[in-house]
Amino acid sequence: VTARRAALIGCGMVGGSLMAALRAAGAIGHTVGHDRDAGHAERARALGLIDEVVGDAAAAVDGVELVVLAVPVRATAEVCAAIAGAVSWATLITDVGSTKLDVVDAAERTLPDPSRFCGAHPMAGTEKSGPDAADASLFRGKLVLVTPGEKSAPATIAACEAMWTAVGARTRRMPPAQHDRVVAWVSHLPHAAAFALAAAVGGVADEVAGLSGGGFVDTTRIAASDPTMWRDIFVANRAPLLAAIEALDGELHALRAAVEAGDDAAIEALIARARDGRKRVVEGRA
Amino acid sequence: VTARRAALIGCGMVGGSLMAALRAAGAIGHTVGHDRDAGHAERARALGLIDEVVGDAAAAVDGVELVVLAVPVRATAEVCAAIAGAVSWATLITDVGSTKLDVVDAAERTLPDPSRFCGAHPMAGTEKSGPDAADASLFRGKLVLVTPGEKSAPATIAACEAMWTAVGARTRRMPPAQHDRVVAWVSHLPHAAAFALAAAVGGVADEVAGLSGGGFVDTTRIAASDPTMWRDIFVANRAPLLAAIEALDGELHALRAAVEAGDDAAIEALIARARDGRKRVVEGRA
């Protein structure tokens, strides 16, 4: 994708990183940013992630060829409705949200020409948020799931993939429903586990403060993520997430029963299965 | 501690790292190693972690001033019984195990002079194991919990603390029972959560292979740990671990119920509590 003018709606870490990366790649010219939180937009401009702040979403997208939505997933429909009358110049409207069925549905219901919308989800988030956490190299070597809706035009899909390739990412195309099932397992469930673990250990913080090692730090790193953003993701992806939590609950109960019974073989088998499962998931090729 | 001769029983990552670090600090002279797995001991010698391999534990400790036990916690009693007749020269007998009530009890029951035993637990493990994973800088800046038994002599405790200080670690003294409760929360529970999570996601590995991001990788890093070692730890620290798993289970169920009900406020509150709890645990001073 090459755009003389581009608009970023939502000037947080992921959107800000993408604009900075596209500019570094020479793929975009003038960048307009809008954020419900004017301070975020101003900060993004001060950091050089965008060139200009516009206080109104419709005015921000006016005359631009590329529109990137980087708002909490639940805000997608509202933002699409706000910009619907002003996106006639856009050849690609895309997003970076962590759930896709709801986002694609909102975009298709709200945009005047849904053929020019194609959703995407970079698997490159961190526990940080806000424009100060933006990093132009965030997507280098990372995987981006590109999730066309049924109405996305082939040229739109290709433009979306080209945009991510331009910033150094690998892309893999999959339908929104498959995306939501996959991320329930590899992203949303780990967050749920990390939140539950950090909350549990936090309950005895007075006794254990300062005594943790690298294991606790890494296992709960993503528990430092933004509560509002993750509340939205969990609710948006409720059914796949609940199925995944069910499976985690089953494994945790199996482990608890084996420990309670002092069943050496069962404990060792579960740990070996965990180690093997992790290896297959992490080292498998997408 | 300064020892002309030292013995390492169990030549894995932690024991090997300690000997390499003590030597680098100039705290020990000739080092004798023994391992039930002769290949491990030979590899430790080839790597320069120890100077000499001795095939018999009692012969290995003969005439040494420092004895470090770095075996799976469940093997402590057997090893102590094996060396009991040959440790008369030792001024410090210590261990590096992840549980302490059982280890201290085994040492006190088995050693001829328990006043010269003081247990310790460096909070510096990783998911790796074996002599090839040893690293002389492993303990630099890390916390070591020093857990004297009721019979440990003051000079023994001081020597144990001095040994860890010599390799760059910070020490904190606490009774074995408190140690076991603390590590159930900050170490054993994170491992249990990581094992359960990796096992659950491994169950759908065919669908999600290669699609994970940094969140899954970090959250399950310690799930790649050695199954036998962790089986022993879980069984040895059964009661405190089960109490911690109970708390994790409670948080996971609360999160599941809130997601099921689409209860925005409850989800957000739990995540915020997790974030705050993690911060207090990680940033608190020991």
Facing A274 at nearest CB: one of B195, B267, B283: B195
pLDDT digits (tens, 9 = 90+) for B95-115: 999 999 999 999 999 999 999
Q: Does A26 touch chain B (CB under 8 A)?
A: no
Q: Does B56 touch chain A (CB under 8 A)?
A: no
Q: What is the pLDDT of residue A286?
A: 61
Q: Does A189 touch chain B (CB under 8 A)?
A: yes
pLDDT beyond 80 at B1: no
- C-alpha distance from A183 to closest chain B C-alpha (Å): 8
Residues of A in contact with B272 (CB under 8 A): 227
Q: What is the pLDDT of residue B2?
A: 83
A142 → chain B, closest CA residue: B213
Q: What is the pLDDT of residue B132?
A: 97
What does the pLDDT average to over B138-152?
97
Q: Which residue, chain included where needed, has tokens 């290709």?
A: A158
* Interchain pair B209, A281: CB under 8 A: yes
pLDDT beyond 90 at B285: no
State the average pLDDT for chain B.
Answer: 96
pLDDT digits (tens, 9 = 90+) for A11-62: 999 999 999 999 999 999 999 999 999 999 999 999 999 999 999 999 999 9
Q: What is the pLDDT of residue A230?
A: 95
Residues 6+ apart with CB under 8 A from A284: B205, B208, B209, B210
Please state, in angstroms and rounded to a whole number, the distance separating the CA atoms of residues A55 and A71. Answer: 15
- C-alpha distance from A112 to closest chain B C-alpha (Å): 30
Q: Does B140 touch chain A (CB under 8 A)?
A: no
* Interchain pair B259, A234: CB under 8 A: yes
DSSP state of B26: T
* Interchain pair A267, B142: CB under 8 A: no
Residues of A in contact with B261 (CB under 8 A): none
Q: Does B187 touch chain A (CB under 8 A)?
A: yes
Q: What is the pLDDT of residue A45?
A: 98
Residues 249-268 of A with CB under 8 A from B: 249-253, 255-256, 259-260, 262, 264, 267-268
| B262: nearest Cα among A245, A236, A190, A240 | A236
The one-digit pLDDT tens for each residue of chain A (286 residues) are: 689 999 999 999 999 999 999 999 999 999 999 999 999 999 999 999 999 999 999 999 999 999 999 999 999 999 999 999 999 999 999 999 999 999 999 999 999 999 999 999 999 978 899 999 999 999 999 999 999 999 999 999 999 999 999 999 999 999 999 999 999 999 999 999 999 999 999 999 999 999 998 999 999 999 999 999 999 999 999 999 999 999 999 999 999 999 999 999 999 999 999 999 999 999 987 6
Q: Does A213 touch chain B (CB under 8 A)?
A: yes
B117, β-bridge pairs: B93
Do residues B275 and A196 touch, judged by C-beta distance below 8 A? no
What does the pLDDT average to over B182-193?
98
Please state, in angstroms and rounded to a whole number, the distance separating the CA atoms of residues A101 and B47. Answer: 54
Residues of A in contact with B192 (CB under 8 A): 252, 255
**% pLDDT > 70, chain B:** 99
A261 → chain B, closest CA residue: B235
Please state, in angstroms and rounded to a whole number, the distance separating the CA atoms of residues A19 and A245. Answer: 35
Facing A202 at nearest CB: one of B201, B260, B280: B280
Confidence of residue B216 (pLDDT cuts 50, 70, 90): very high
- C-alpha distance from A5 to closest chain B C-alpha (Å): 31
Say if residue B274 is exposed, middle or buried (CB neighbours under 10 Å; 0-12, 13-18, 19+): buried
Say if residue A265 is exposed, middle or buried (CB neighbours under 10 Å; 0-12, 13-18, 19+): exposed
Q: Which residue, chain included where needed, has tokens 């596209």?
A: A22
Facing A210 at nearest CB: one of B189, B190, B286: B286
- C-alpha distance from B262 to closest chain A C-alpha (Å): 6
Residues of A in contact with B188 (CB under 8 A): none
Please state, in angstroms and rounded to a whole number, the distance separating the CA atoms of residues B18 and A123. Answer: 38
Judged by phi (left if over 0) then psi (alpha if -120 to 50, else beta), residue A48 lies in: left
Q: How many CB pairs under 8 A join A and B?
A: 347
Residues of A in contact with B145 (CB under 8 A): 211
For strand A28-34 and strand A52-53, is the pairing parallel, antiparallel, or unpaired?
Answer: parallel
Residues making up chain A, counted from first to last: 286
Please state, in angstroms and rounded to a whole number, the distance separating the CA atoms of residues A4 and B31. Answer: 69
A173 → chain B, closest CA residue: B211
Do residues B113 and B149 touch, judged by C-beta distance below 8 A? no
- C-alpha distance from B90 to closest chain A C-alpha (Å): 30
Q: What is the pLDDT of residue A1?
A: 64
Please state, in angstroms and rounded to a whole number, the distance separating the CA atoms of residues A117 and B19. Answer: 61
Interface with A, mutate which of B282, B283, B285 (most A CBs under 10 A)? B282
Chain center to CA of A14? 8
Please state, in angstroms and rounded to a whole number, the distance separating the CA atoms of residues B56 and B15. Answer: 17
DSSP state of B117: B
Facing B255 at nearest CB: one of A195, A212, A247: A195
Q: What is the pLDDT of residue B125?
A: 79
| A34: nearest Cα among A75, A76, A68 | A68
B120, β-bridge pairs: B146
Residues of A in contact with B277 (CB under 8 A): 198-199, 201-203, 205
Where do the DSSP E strands lie in chain A?
3-9, 28-34, 52-53, 66-69, 92-95, 119-122, 143-147, 170-173
Facing B252 at nearest CB: one of A205, A217, A245: A245
What does the pLDDT average to over B215-234?
95
Do residues B203 and B67 touch, judged by C-beta distance below 8 A? no
